[in-house]
Amino acid sequence: MSAKKIVQLKENPAVTNFREYLKISSVHPDVDYSGCVEFLQRQADSLDLPLAIYHVVPKKPIVVLTWRGTEPSLPSILLNSHMDVVPVFAEKWTRDPFGAEKDENGNIFARGSQDMKCVGIQYLEAVRRLKAAGAKLCRTLHISFVPDEEIGGGDGMKAFVHTSDFKALNIGFALDEGIASPTEEFALFYGERSIWQIHVHCPGTPGHGSLLHPDTAGEKLRVVIDRFMDFRQKEKDKLAANPALTVGDVTTINLTMLKGGVQANVVPPELTAVFDMRLAVTQDHREFEALLQSWCKEAGRDVHYDFELKNKRNAITALDSSNPFWMAFKAECDSLKLKLKPAIFPGGTDSRYVRLVGIPALGFSPMNRTPVLLHDHDEFLNEKVFLHGIDIYERLIPAVANVSV
Ligand code: ZN
Rg (CA), the chain: 24
- Please tell me the predicted confidence (pLDDT) of residue 231: 98
- Please tell me the predicted confidence (pLDDT) of residue 314: 87
Question: Is residue 325 within 8 Å of residue 171, measured between CB atoms?
Answer: no
- Please tell me the predicted confidence (pLDDT) of residue 348: 87
DSSP string, 183-206: SSSEEEEEEEPEEEEEEEEEE---
Taking the C-alpha atoms of residue 142 and residue 199, their distance in angstroms, rounded to an integer, is 41
- Catalytic-labelled residue, pool 115, 125, 149, 249: 149
Taking the C-alpha atoms of residue 278 and residue 208, their distance in angstroms, rounded to an integer, is 39
What is the Å distance from ligand 1's center to 113 Cα? 10
Nearest one of 269, 280, 282 to 207, comparing CA atoms: 269
- Buried/exposed 169-207: b ≥16 CB within 10 Å, e otherwise: bebbbbbbbbbbbeeeebbbbbbbbbbbbbebbbbbeee
H or E stretch at 125: helix 117-132
- Catalytic-labelled residue, pool 84, 155, 383, 394: 84
Angle at 351 between CA 67 and CA 121, to 5 degrees: 45
- Please tell me the predicted confidence (pLDDT) of residue 9: 60
What is the Å distance from ligand 1's center to 110 Cα? 14
H or E stretch at 363: strand 361-363
Residues whose CB falls within 8 Å of the CB of residue 398, separated by 6 or more in sequence, listed in order: 130, 135, 137
What average pLDDT values come out for the chain (405 residues) when binned by 10 residues? Answer: 56 98 96 98 98 97 98 98 96 96 97 98 98 98 97 96 98 98 96 96 97 97 98 98 93 97 97 97 96 98 96 92 98 98 92 96 97 93 98 98 92
The structure's pTM equals 0.87
- Please tell me the predicted confidence (pLDDT) of residue 317: 97
Tell me the three state secondary structure of residue 264.
coil
Residues whose CB falls within 8 Å of the CB of residue 151, separated by 6 or more in sequence, listed in order: 28, 84
What is the Å distance from ligand 1's center to 119 Cα? 10
Q: What are the structural domains, with CATH classification, of the chain?
A: 3-192+314-401 (3.40.630.10), 194-310 (3.30.70.360)
What is the Å distance from ligand 1's center to 376 Cα? 12
Q: Which residues surround ligand 1, an ion (CB under 5 A)?
A: 115-116, 177
Question: At what angle are helices 13-22 and 117-132 packed, to 10 degrees?
Answer: 150
What is the Å distance from ligand 1's center to 190 Cα? 15
- Is 149 catalytic? The answer is yes
Taking the C-alpha atoms of residue 264 and residue 134, their distance in angstroms, rounded to an integer, is 76
What is the Å distance from ligand 1's center to 299 Cα? 40
Output DSSP code: residue 48: T
Question: Is residue 325 within 8 Å of residue 172, measured between CB atoms?
Answer: yes
Question: Is residue 108 within 8 Å of residue 11, measured between CB atoms?
Answer: no
What is the Å distance from ligand 1's center to 335 Cα? 28
In whole angstroms, how far apart are CA 228 and each of 203, 254, 305, 321, 330? 18, 8, 13, 39, 39
- Please tell me the predicted confidence (pLDDT) of residue 347: 85
Question: Is residue 290 within 8 Å of residue 240, measured between CB atoms?
Answer: no
- Is 276 catalytic? The answer is no
Tell me the three state secondary structure of residue 145.
strand
